[in-house]
Amino acid sequence: MVIEVHDVPAEKHFAAVVDGKPAGKAVYIRTPDLIVFTHTEVDPAFEGKGVGSALARAALDQARAWELPVLPLCPFIKGYIERHREYVDGVYRSPRTTAVD
């Protein structure tokens, strides 16, 4: 089984395809300063076959190529980063506030 992942910018998600069939997607919001991953889903027929991991890896690698930090609101992407520490350096860190009461 070959999992292909590609960006679909018009629909704001990365799509996973297996044997020509849609298998899952990782939805994002891209700004000039960062990319926010909001939701990842895998078709039940492909669960447990590495589709989610392939999506996360491809999406995070592309964010790195774009030189954009990642804000992982999606629990799956967040968990993937926690298990694959090589992506931690790409996580968005909110700047310290300079607000004064």
Q: pLDDT by residue (tens digit) across 10-21? A: 999 999 999 999
pTM of the model: 0.89
Mean pLDDT value of segment 16-39: 97
Strand ranges inside 9-89, DSSP E:
13-18, 21-30, 35-42, 70-72
Domains of the chain: 3-90 (3.40.630.30)
Check: CB of residue 23 under 8 Å from CB of residue 14: no
pLDDT of residue 98: 72
pLDDT confidence of 95, banded at 50, 70, 90?
low
Q: Is residue 79 over pLDDT 80?
A: yes
